[in-house]
């Protein structure tokens, strides 16, 4: 067979090859999940997420918590008016949900305080933060992991407040919100190169602006504001952030791994448990509050 015949056969083959099919156009959900993966995950994990991305189950935990917090706020502000539209009032301070040092033997208060907020600006800030960050995180990591991080921040916040600010009451979901922020912040820092440097810098700046504004407002309300009413501790912000930077980072960095088999997770849980035990013993035997 001559080279001319081979060329003709090759040309015939090429002419009769079926053209490659164009990939199907991306739907709105595809674009949404792509955006979520870009914000929440380093580049080497995005394809894995997109292959199995769906909204089943939907972000039930963060939505349920947000609805519960909003319902409690409306109850005290509308059906049981306590001037909660503006700031914390005596009625809120007497709520069975608020953490009150003198009633710390009622153990549920160390968790339930997250449902009560000191004014409309307080709850709006917390809801915006936890919905904007919590929903994408829960889509990626699912509700049981988000719930673990969030509640670890809430409990850690109240226990830390009982030690470092023992005379003050505590309200708001800032401990849980800051746990989510702390875990996400650590992921951005550790995976900075994989999250595109400019984009990573933008994320860090956004987090710092939001946290700086919220903490600044908390400090103002704690030390400067002359508004009448009981003072509220802000220690939960920092304790929640620390919980997120340890437990939260470990949980969020195990997107495609079995969390139970990660030794970092058990180290964080052991350290957190030691803190909880110490805080409980402090409240029983060493607290200056009777």
pLDDT digits (tens, 9 = 90+) for 26-57: 677 778 888 888 888 888 888 888 887 777 77
Task: Examine the residue annotation and report whether 174 is marked as an active-site residue of this protein.
Answer: yes
* Residues shown for the chain: 290
Instruction: Evaluate whether residue 224 is within a structural domain.
Output: yes
Q: Which of 112, 117, 237, 246 is catalytic?
A: 237
3-12, 133-142, 143-152, 241-250: which has the minimum mean pLDDT?
3-12
Instruction: Evaluate whether residue 176 is within a structural domain.
Output: yes
Return the structure tokens found at 260. 């139970």
Q: Which of 174, 233, 246, 253 is catalytic?
A: 174
Q: State the Cα angle at 259 between 192 and 145, rounded to 5°.
A: 80
- 67: domain CATH number? 1.20.1540.10
- Which of 62-66, 192-196, 220-224, 253-257 has the highest average model confidence (pLDDT)? 62-66
User: Which comes out higher in pLDDT, residue 29 or 248?
Assistant: 248
Instruction: Evaluate whether residue 143 is within a structural domain.
Output: yes
Instruction: Evaluate whether residue 192 is within a structural domain.
Output: yes
Task: Examine the residue annotation and report whether 246 is marked as an active-site residue of this protein.
Answer: no
Q: Show the domain range for 169.
A: 58-286
Instruction: Evaluate whether residue 9 is within a structural domain.
Output: no
User: Which comes out higher in pLDDT, residue 121 or 241?
Assistant: 241
* pLDDT band, very low/low/confident/very high, at 235 (cuts 50, 70, 90): confident
67-123 pLDDT, tens digit per residue, is 999 999 988 887 776 665 655 555 677 889 999 999 999 999 999 999 998 778 788
Number of domains, the chain: 1
Instruction: Evaluate whether residue 121 is within a structural domain.
Output: yes
Instruction: Evaluate whether residue 21 is within a structural domain.
Output: no
Instruction: Evaluate whether residue 22 is within a structural domain.
Output: no
């Amino acid at each position: 067979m001559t080279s001319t015949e081979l060329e003709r056969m090759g040309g015939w083959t090429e002419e009769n090859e079926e053209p490659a099919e164009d990939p199907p156009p991306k739907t709105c959900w595809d674009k949404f999940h792509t955006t979520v993966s870009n914000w929440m995950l380093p580049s080497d994990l995005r394809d894995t997420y997109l292959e199995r991305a769906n909204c089943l189950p939907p972000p039930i935990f963060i939505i349920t918590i947000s609805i519960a917090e909003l319902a409690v706020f409306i109850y005290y502000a509308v059906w049981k008016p306590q001037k909660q539209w503006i700031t914390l009032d005596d009625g809120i301070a007497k709520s069975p949900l608020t953490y009150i040092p003198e009633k710390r033997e009622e153990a549920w208060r160390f968790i339930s305080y997250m449902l009560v907020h000191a004014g409309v600006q307080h709850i709006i800030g917390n809801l915006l933060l936890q919905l904007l960050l919590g929903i994408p995180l829960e889509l990626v990591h699912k509700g049981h992991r988000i719930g673990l991080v969030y509640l670890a921040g809430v409990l850690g916040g109240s226990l830390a407040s009982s030690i470092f600010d023992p005379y003050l009451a505590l309200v708001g979901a800032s401990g849980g919100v800051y746990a989510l922020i702390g875990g996400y912040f650590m992921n951005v820092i550790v995976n900075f190169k994989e999250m595109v440097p400019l984009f990573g810098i933008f994320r860090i700046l956004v987090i710092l602006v939001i946290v700086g504004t919220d903490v600044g407002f908390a400090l103002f309300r704690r030390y400067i504001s002359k508004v009448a009413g009981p003072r509220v501790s802000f220690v939960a912000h920092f304790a929640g952030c620390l919980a997120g930077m340890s437990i939260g980072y470990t949980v969020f960095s195990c997107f495609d791994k079995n969390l139970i088999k990660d030794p970092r997770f058990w180290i964080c849980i052991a350290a957190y448990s030691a803190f909880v035990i110490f805080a409980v013993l402090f409240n029983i035997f060493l607290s200056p509050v009777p």
